[in-house]
Structure 1
Amino acid sequence: MKNYNENEALFADWAGDARNASPDGEFVRDTNYIEDRIVASVSERTRQDPDRADSAELWPVAAGKYRLIAARACPWAHRTLIVRRLMGLENVISLGLAHPIHDVRSWNFQLDEGGLDPVLQIPRLQEAYFNRFPNYPRGITVPAIVDIETKQVVTNDYASITLDFNSEWKQFHREGAPDLYPEELREEIDAVNKRVFTEVNNGVYRCGFAGTQEAYGKAYDRLFTALDWLEERLSTRRYLVGDHITEADVRLFPTLVRFDACYFSHFKCNRNMIKDMPNLWGYLRDLFQTPGFGDTTDLDQVKAHYYGTHTEINPTRVIPKGPRMADLLTPHDRDRLPGQPFAPGSTAPGPVPESEQPPAVH
């Protein structure tokens, strides 16, 4: 296991630990993002509402114009890595990967030579935010899409990024790219996504960053109520919505694959592991073994991020060696249920580009 804590430069500018709990102890996530979109229907940068100076802007789809800045550690960014790969956009939208450990000044590029992103030539993602918004008041988050020419952030709205990769970048999709957000399933996908985000994706954080025993207890109960609902839902269907992988599965997978390695212990989500829930465990293995999911996952970086960054929870920064994640490669038996990963006419993506391959699961 690589020691991601060994670079002392990561901690030279440490400015204190994040404090995420509200006064009553409940974790509160800032969900205000840069709402700009990259769309196929405009040829140049324009405002959605030209009469409002503060309205979000539309940017044109264009090959080679943008760089996706992600972190393999971050579940919100992981979704963009999955969809970018499923759509075959690797040669259209370049990828920069941040170091899994960061301080309050943002994600950095200490994984790259000289500590600089090789395309943007900046040491920290915050510079791209400040290039566009000199007094940007919110968190510097991944995923973020950056305009390469100006080195300015375009958007960090993770939900829109994956939907737009699916719907707005079609002219650059690989042959056989799936439709993850089919029109006839959107209402159901949106409903499932809303509950999964509120109770599971964000629910583990509500447990981990709760500031009082009462807040933690409520968060814990809500999380496992939702996981029990998912366990039941997946007892009769292979995927969350419909007969094939959709945006709903993309949004749940990054939380599930981090659960046993991080959330169970680090965030005190310890009623049981995902391994103890037969349907969710089979579903997780099924997705992990599907191209686009496991091959965009780096569990060493995931653990380094959570145990090495959240020092208010883990002040020693010691990163656990376990659990044994090779179990994700064991047979899943989910093909006994109706459905298949991709709809007829759609195919799995090809091999991962050599420069983007994560380490093997161990």
Structure 2
Amino acid sequence: MSGTGHHSIGADVAIIGAGPAGLFAAFECSMLRLSCVLVDSLGETGGQCAALYPEKPIYDIPAHPAIEGGALVAALEAQIAPFSVPRLLGRRVERLEGQAGDFTLGTDRGDVIRAKAVVIAAGAGAFGPNRPPLDGLDAFEATGSVQYYVRRREDFRGRRIVIAGGGDSAVDWALSLKDIAERIWLVHRRDRFRAAPESLAQLEAAAAEGRIEKVVPFQLHGLHGTSGTLEAVSVADLDGKVRQIDADRLLPFFGLSTDLGPLAAWPLNAERHHIPVAQATCETAIAGVFAIGDVATYPGKLKLILQGFSEGAMAAHAIHPIVHPDTALHFEYSTSKGVPGGVPGGASSGVAGTLVEAAGA
């Protein structure tokens, strides 16, 4: 089901964030016959996997020697498909009222969500690129001459690309695109890069072969072109000497700025975009509200997707007695239990089918 305007939805669990951790939490809750609704500020599910590196391989997902971010999201979507979990996309949760067993959430689009428990799977919050302070940048962003993410490697075939940055993202994408692009310049203000040793070794080999030119120590200085079409990028060294590089694409990788937004005002004891949780249950300082994935913190926390998966299962089991206080949960393995034939309806189910709506729909 789709539509415009705002919606009123009831579910056992409201999951804020539809990245990998949120999607798997929806599966785990559904396996316990808890109805869910997913809410995300992005216009699609998948979080950073979908928005930042859909074609970049991930190597630490169990049973997958390598899987691209987009493929991982597709598999997680297929996993929850039998449960028809509603999604409210392109909107941000701003308001939380009530208590465990009876929460009301409101979004910036006027949606009202009634839930008995809440799972925050918001990563580090809403994210966006750190943009370089260059004159006329907006016009070049509008045409795609300046981009901050690589959604499809094929889009850069035959391009002359300046990549700026000194971390893993800059080095990894320079290596990934070297067989696609006509030429690549890697600009960094220092002559040392902060990347994995194996990547640095590959970078040195590619530079020795002339497939990547390291432009160090330089930093971005200006953009040149007409009507937003990039023709050249100027860089300056520490002494102010300017060099002009004939290029038609600029990829600045200066990290992401993150913001928990309205969640930061909730009494969650958030610290530096992270929410402390009880390690055994992932419950926050607000009873009935749980946090999983990168946004959650506790002693020994590892920022790995697989840990977010584990936390999703832990939170689902901790939520069950909130939703069904008079029903004991008899844990069973999925090999013997199988996939439930559907999540019970009733007052909490709210919406049948799947609601997918992006911002501006």
TM-score for both structures, normalised by structure 2? 0.25
* Structure with larger Rg: 2
More strand by share: 2
